[in-house]
Structure 1
Amino acid sequence: MERDILDRLERAPHGRAGYKQLVRELGARGAARRDIETALDALARKGRIIELRGGQYVLASRSREYAVGRLNMHRDGYGFVVPEVPPPGLKGDIFIPPGAAGWVMHGDRVMARITHSAPGGRAEGEIVKVLERAHPTVVGEFRCGRHSNYVVPRESRIRQAILIPEGFELPRQAPSPDRIGAPAARYDSARGLDGAIVNVEIVGYPEDGGEITGRVIEILGREGDFGLDVEIVIRKHHLPHRFPAEVLQEAEAISPIIPAAEISARRDFRNLPCVTIDGETARDFDDAVWLDELSNGHFLLHVHIADVSHYVRPDSAIDREAFKRGTSVYFPDRAVPMLPLELSTGICSLLPQTDRLVLSALLEFDRSGDVVAQDFCRGVIRRAERMTYTSVHLILQGDPLLRERYAALARMFERMRDLALILNRRRMKRGSIDFDLPEPLIEFDEEGLMTGIRRAPRNIAHRIIEEFMLAANEAVSRHLETHLEQSIFRIHERPDPARVLEFEEIAARFGYSLGFGAFPVKRFPAVERRRDGRRERKDIVRADERVQVSSKMYQKLVEKLAGKPEERILNYLMLRSLKQARYSAVNEGHFALAAQSYTHFTSPIRRYPDLIVHRLLSGLLDSRPSSPGDLEGIAAFCSETERRAAEAERELVETKKARFMEERVGDDFQALVISTTKFGFFVELDELFVEGLVPIDLLPGERWSYRESTRSILAERSRREIRIGDRVEVRLARVDAFDNKLVFTLAPPPDAPRRKPRK
């Protein structure tokens, strides 16, 4: 029915039609009318069509006046709607000025009406309808007032305080005993809640005016309580973090004993010394590897992945909860797993000297790194050793004690290194991009307090596992695409030409380019109001959408920058110019990996798409391809849960960093300018991987202004200029604990008194 409606709208004048017209044209009677209503509602929710006033419906791709998307609010009251289907002629987001969002919250899925369009595809609009609320609950600080009580959200982009009516102040049930702050959360009056951090369920939105109302459902604790930051982030991002009783019962009912019949039905790899290679703190082990060199000089690689699909059946309670979570979430000091611990660290985890069920990719490579033969099967392994990246690296470095201890495995590790380097060279040759940007590692003391931030170590052992997992993922993706009509892919689309143009303009100042020569652009005449109130004619420059950019361009520039002073900043800016990878049922290739077909197969304990891929592969092995359901819907939802997890992980790290830096207010630091804006410039501290803002109004001595033509900040009297990539010395002025933002100013001259950073 949905397809029929879309076809009718495609043929209708201006892509629009009314309900009665659709009923008439589709010849619907009785129950079929209800089917049309259901299909229209579903298409509107998906953003494929837009419901207008008067019962009219229009294709989202044909509507010039309306758009559906998520609202991204700013703390200052304005926002942007990111259209799911951009209206004709629109480039980018729709600006929502202060006051035009009403009682809509950050993250809500909305319908926006475009009220003004400018040359070059820019648009301004207002919110006319909320299609889906993003926040069933909100975390905030409870405030007792003279006449009423409120909760002030801990999310600055949610600007509305939430009214707590009388009788809605205390949770209906006792606080969970396993939650931080539980002893302090036992209050018998609302007055005792003043200043407490609570979780509020939204119970009412105003129709016209009025206030949002809510009910306190959890009391999390008070500022300074140990672990409160994690609890806040979990609830702010609506992460499912407690397994329902039904899920736990299913998990506990799974027998850890593997029946002999199951083992006999699988390929037996228990005689091979398979190993896992992970970090020192890893708890779940879902991949093991083994390698041999064949008589013809080829390499035979085994990649064995925990067979989670054997234990997690479609539509079981565990499966429904795993889909809801989408992925495991990893915080610096704890994790929120996708699967119950009985599976994630138990029966599915590839533990040493223990029989475990696996799905295996057996790949034969020639000396050029090409796959010349492959096989996929169900298997059983008994892992020989649990290795760490550090131990394998030291073995390959010649550590005598470790080489003696792992004498039986040392030669295999050397072969693994050889194959990994071959595979890496092959990827780089085809255009795979390897930025090799530093990853921050947060360090804690025994009491869980943050003590420092350093660059996470990376060595050849990391490269070995990375190359082997990439090869297995690519091989499985090609196999499924060849033999199935449907699959799920990990895609990475080509970058937006506008972002590429922005990078090219900055790179040119350093004497570098991706290799375009003259970048093709379009110019649109426009009028801009200056600060003095005068109008100024100014061309808007837009990148030509037809420009061809390849991953090889990026990789060649990465290689050219290696070891140069500009390497850090230009690699960072290149990464920012790329789109985010996502899941899709339609294969569009993977730009950054330069792969024509790619999927996720190697981590089914922590990623739901991998579990779907396992089911598809298992169906092929049985010669009974499974029906996985709505793969596009699964892919879209898993992309959302992945973004949700990444945002939560990032926020907690920023929270930890902000708390760590609170004691360093007044200290001076060497920093790199990573971006410039009209309101200041952002820096990254050299040693601490911490970012912050230097506001333009805190720059000393004279008036400073932003020059868009050069993306620089200029001192109007001394003509000192601050550009992206400059190195500056900054002083930490303050830490905004609410937003986890660090505010810096330029450090005073060397002859002025200053403080050195603490060691």
Structure 2
Amino acid sequence: MVKRSIKGTKLPAKKLEYQCLKLFDKQPSKRFNARQIIKKLQIKNSAASVQAVLTNLEGAGKIDLIKDGKYRLSRTNGTAESVRAEVLEGYVDQIRSGAAYIVLGGERHEDVYVQAKKLKQALDGDRVMVKILKRYGKRVDGEIVKILERATDQFIGNLQQSKKYAFVVPDNNMVDFDIYVHPQDLGIAQDGDKVLVRVHQWPDRAGKNPIGKIVKVLDATDTHGVMMDSILINHGFDTLFSNVVLREAESLPREISEKEIARRRDMRSVPTITIDPATARDFDDALSYRLLENGKKEIGIHIADVTHYVKPGTALDREALRRSTSVYLVDRVAPMLPEVLSNELCSLRPHEDSLTFSAIFELDSKNRIVSRWFGKTIIHSAQRFSYEEAQLVLDASHGLFHEELSELNRISKHFRKKRYKEGSIAFETPELQFELDETNHPIAIHTKVRKDTHLLVEDLMLLANREVATYMAKKSQREIPFVYRVHDLPDEEKVTEYSLFLKELGFQFDHQSPAQIRKSFERLTKAAKSDDVLAFAEPFAVRIMAKAIYTTHNIGHFGLAFDYYTHFTSPIRRYADVLVHRILEKNLGGDYRTSKEELEAQCKHISNQEKKAQEAERESIKFKQVEFISGHIGETYAGIVSGMIERGIFVTLKDIGVDGLVQFADLQEPFLVLENRMHAVAKRSARAFKIGDQVKVKITAAHINDMQVDMELVD
């Protein structure tokens, strides 16, 4: 294999860390700072991105900070290889076999593989210490030595009871233990009941059973409701708030005092609206527009002031951090905050005064920002629009707040065009929308159509997020620890695989540089609008991209092409935004610095919670898709070949996105799946399939609990 030179390239963070460590390992007595490393490696990374890697390596004990920003290889750890042979912290990412990969903190190259028998009762999402045992090329094996934090203490399962003791057998087959329940902790639960149990005592060593208490007896006949609750709980999200948290939320004052109003900028006279999904109840952002006397335009992005109500050190705040995010399943929401906050106190409801944290921009006639202001405000939302209602006003060119909507739409289009010109990637990932009956059973699946109003809100939120991050990054010459939303360059190997995949579909994807990758995505987006096969392939691009995360180490946002970016606009449903509000407020009157180490630990926790929430949301969509198609057995659909295994081909149904398997055994002859898994060729005839082929299939079976669908080809 030809070794690719890194000279003159901008390295993604993981590869940059590897090259830095390799440099220190080759010259263990030499000292380097960020700029010297850039010169030595002849790379195009910024000094800030190299410094972020050096800070991580120092934190991991691999290098030592000497003085004047210079580092050298840690003398206590020796070479790079011996540095890796240590006990490391990470999160459990469990796979179907019961084994797991431990995703390490920081920006390390490798995950650690742990066999099921060496997990020591650690479960998916748990924060653990893992000991490195062996290395096989790129593979690293280890074992769990300590469980630092449990992702969940709740489980759904069946109660098995005798006269003297009772156990809950968890439904989740990844859980390899039963939970002991004392008779006095059974409540009204009886033998055979489907129950929700909370563990209150974990064993001090593997092999012993945890001890729990029955929280709730579930309706075993509501299999679909139980499944959705299980999805939440299996991913570490509670379905209920504790009484302590609820009492604290209920005790918060409902009235806004005159003293509180006096310390804020009063925006109640400025025309202000909200635009949200029709079913939304938590309105965490509002928009205002007005023409100023000086001829300039003023736009306001007003965000629910959650930090006015949720104070550090309270039970509410601890619970919000623990959850870190609201989880939106198809038929329910597991909110980050109790409903009295998310849907009432903090929600920017129409025709009410609301406390907000605002980003206000003054624009000239060419929509250039001439001034910006951040601070606490009070607003009065004059109208609550759904996206569809606001779009009707734009389309009709008249109606309530037509002038404001039209101006905001023009301004958002200006910023969108500018963003794309500067390299922002327009990912077009289809989003499914389910139509449910009164029992939450899906009766229809649609693909959401993104209208101008969706893009209008999105672009103004991006503007606020970018400007807040830029303000904090440039506020002081000495770094102020802050929460950034960063997105690294895509992994080279994944991009190469994706380009080969697209080549099979007739599309040339140039990936020689970050700029070319951006241009290739732009071409793909345009081509996909008129090509069903490319439209199917386009969403796969998200899988090759690095995962956007929260961190104190800013490296910019590749996908948006922003040098600075954060999340400021959704504190009702994201704890990262709560942290951003607190830090920003304290830095409006002077310089305030919090512990970067503590903030980074919070960022890692929030990023991990976000990942689990996304997995839960995807699983709920998959479940509802299978539930929907179970009512259409025997019907025929158009689909696209989307994957291959030795047993058959996967087909994705058009418009509704349901995936199913067509087994080769049903095709009357054996097939050979080629090594690249892009083609399957019949052994006795000229019949063949390739990824992207358009086919017709009949639904033959739907296994709801396993979330699997069987199909057969229709000639």
State the TM-score bracket (shorter-chain normalisation).
0.7 to 0.9
For residues 171 and 744 of structure 1, do their structure 2 counterparts lie closer, same or farther at Cα, with a shift above 3 Å needed?
Answer: farther
Shift of 1:596: 0.8
Aligned match of 1:646: 614
Measure the CA separation in 2 of the matches of 1:710 and 1:234: 33
Greater displacement, 676-685 / 430-439 = 676-685
Greater displacement, 125-134 / 335-344 = 125-134
Is 2:689 the partner of 1:722? yes
Is 2:136 the partner of 1:117? yes
For residues 591 and 680 of structure 1, do their structure 2 counterparts lie closer, same or farther at Cα, with a shift above 3 Å needed?
Answer: farther
Aligned match of 1:129: 145
Is 2:403 the partner of 1:435? no
Measure the CA separation in 2 of the matches of 1:313 and 1:60: 43
Aligned match of 1:746: 712
Alpha-carbon contact 2:179-2:199 (below 8 Å) kept: no
Pick one of 586, 596, 602 that aligns with 2:563.
596
Aligned match of 1:687: 655
Aligned match of 1:659: 627
Shift of 1:601: 0.7
Measure the CA separation in 2 of the matches of 1:319 and 1:391: 35
Q: Secondary structure in 2 aligned to 1:613?
A: helix
Pick one of 96, 100, 103 that aligns with 1:75.
96
Deviations 1:164-214 (CA, angstroms, capped at 9, x unpaired): 66xx3757153xxxxxxxxxxx34xxxx53363543638666968x67565
For residues 601 and 135 of structure 1, do their structure 2 counterparts lie closer, same or farther at Cα, with a shift above 3 Å needed?
Answer: closer
For residues 137 and 473 of structure 1, do their structure 2 counterparts lie closer, same or farther at Cα, with a shift above 3 Å needed?
Answer: same
Alpha-carbon contact 1:71-1:79 (below 8 Å) kept: yes
Pick one of 437, 441, 463 that aligns with 2:455.
463
Measure the CA separation in 2 of the matches of 1:475 and 1:587: 14
Measure the CA separation in 1 of the matches of 2:420 and 2:445: 31
Unaligned runs of 5+ residues in structure 2 are 1-22, 29-55, 63-75
Measure the CA separation in 2 of the matches of 1:366 and 1:435: 30
Alpha-carbon contact 1:671-1:683 (below 8 Å) kept: yes
Aligned match of 1:268: 266
Measure the CA separation in 2 of the matches of 1:658 and 1:258: 48
Shift of 1:726: 1.6
Alpha-carbon contact 1:75-1:156 (below 8 Å) kept: no
Greater displacement, 571-580 / 273-282 = 571-580
Alpha-carbon contact 2:510-2:517 (below 8 Å) kept: no
For residues 659 and 547 of structure 1, do their structure 2 counterparts lie closer, same or farther at Cα, with a shift above 3 Å needed?
Answer: closer
Alpha-carbon contact 2:557-2:564 (below 8 Å) kept: yes
Aligned match of 2:483: 488
Aligned match of 1:737: 704
Shift of 1:574: 1.4
Equivalent pairs counted in the alignment come to: 644
Shift of 1:474: 0.6
Letter paired with 1:615:
R
Shift of 1:471: 0.6
Aligned match of 1:507: 502
**Once the two structures are aligned, what percentage of the paired residues are identical?**
29
For residues 219 and 256 of structure 1, do their structure 2 counterparts lie closer, same or farther at Cα, with a shift above 3 Å needed?
Answer: closer
Deviations 1:519-564 (CA, angstroms, capped at 9, x unpaired): 6xxxxxxxxxxxxxxxxxxxxxxxxxx9886534423432343322
Q: Secondary structure in 1 aligned to 2:542?
A: helix
Measure the CA separation in 2 of the matches of 1:372 and 1:273: 21
Measure the CA separation in 1 of the matches of 2:345 and 2:638: 49
Shift of 1:569: 2.4
Shift of 1:334: 2.7
Pick one of 457, 470, 483 that aligns with 1:478.
470
Aligned match of 1:606: 573
Aligned match of 1:140: 157
Is 2:236 the partner of 1:233? no
Measure the CA separation in 1 of the matches of 2:82 and 2:347: 50
Shift of 1:250: 3.1
Deviations 1:301-326 (CA, angstroms, capped at 9, x unpaired): 11111222222222223222211221
Alpha-carbon contact 2:112-2:132 (below 8 Å) kept: no
Q: Secondary structure in 2 aligned to 1:621?
A: coil
Deviations 1:712-739 (CA, angstroms, capped at 9, x unpaired): 2222222422222122223334333333
Alpha-carbon contact 2:135-2:141 (below 8 Å) kept: yes
Pick one of 334, 337, 358 that aligns with 2:335.
337
Measure the CA separation in 1 of the matches of 2:192 and 2:332: 29
For residues 620 and 450 of structure 1, do their structure 2 counterparts lie closer, same or farther at Cα, with a shift above 3 Å needed?
Answer: same
Greater displacement, 194-203 / 560-569 = 194-203
| Structural mapping, 1:218-617, within 5 Å | 218-225=215-222, 227-293=225-291, 299-366=297-364, 369-398=367-396, 403-404=398-399, 406=400, 409-483=401-475, 485-516=480-511, 550-617=517-584
Shift of 1:368: 5.4
For residues 726 and 370 of structure 1, do their structure 2 counterparts lie closer, same or farther at Cα, with a shift above 3 Å needed?
Answer: farther
Measure the CA separation in 1 of the matches of 2:106 and 2:466: 30
Aligned match of 1:172: 185
Shift of 1:590: 0.9
Q: Normalized against structure 2, the TM-score is what?
A: 0.80
Unaligned runs of 5+ residues in structure 1 are 1-9, 16-42, 50-55, 175-185, 520-545, 750-759
Q: Secondary structure in 2 aligned to 1:193?
A: coil
Shift of 1:676: 3.0
* Larger radius of gyration between Structure 1 and Structure 2: 1
Alpha-carbon contact 2:662-2:713 (below 8 Å) kept: no
Shift of 1:398: 0.9
Greater displacement, 425-434 / 211-220 = 211-220
For residues 137 and 312 of structure 1, do their structure 2 counterparts lie closer, same or farther at Cα, with a shift above 3 Å needed?
Answer: closer
Shift of 1:341: 2.5
Deviations 1:220-273 (CA, angstroms, capped at 9, x unpaired): 425432732333223222213433344333333332222223222322211111
Q: Secondary structure in 1 aligned to 2:481?
A: coil
Alpha-carbon contact 1:103-1:206 (below 8 Å) kept: no
Shift of 1:581: 1.0
Letter paired with 1:582:
I
Q: Secondary structure in 1 aligned to 2:643?
A: strand
CA RMSD of aligned residues (A): 3.6
Q: Secondary structure in 2 aligned to 1:338?
A: coil
Measure the CA separation in 2 of the matches of 1:443 and 1:296: 49
Measure the CA separation in 2 of the matches of 1:731 and 1:294: 62
Measure the CA separation in 1 of the matches of 2:164 and 2:516: 61
Letter paired with 2:433:
L
Shift of 1:686: 1.0
Q: Normalized against structure 1, the TM-score is what?
A: 0.76
For residues 350 and 59 of structure 1, do their structure 2 counterparts lie closer, same or farther at Cα, with a shift above 3 Å needed?
Answer: farther
Measure the CA separation in 2 of the matches of 1:584 and 1:85: 9
Alpha-carbon contact 2:169-2:179 (below 8 Å) kept: no
Q: Secondary structure in 2 aligned to 1:569?
A: helix
Shift of 1:586: 1.0
Alpha-carbon contact 1:285-1:350 (below 8 Å) kept: yes
Aligned match of 2:5: none
For residues 273 and 510 of structure 1, do their structure 2 counterparts lie closer, same or farther at Cα, with a shift above 3 Å needed?
Answer: same
Measure the CA separation in 2 of the matches of 1:170 and 1:59: 56
Letter paired with 2:484:
F
Shift of 1:664: 3.0
Alpha-carbon contact 1:276-1:387 (below 8 Å) kept: yes
Letter paired with 2:617:
E
Shift of 1:336: 2.2
Alpha-carbon contact 1:667-1:731 (below 8 Å) kept: yes
Measure the CA separation in 1 of the matches of 2:595 and 2:164: 55
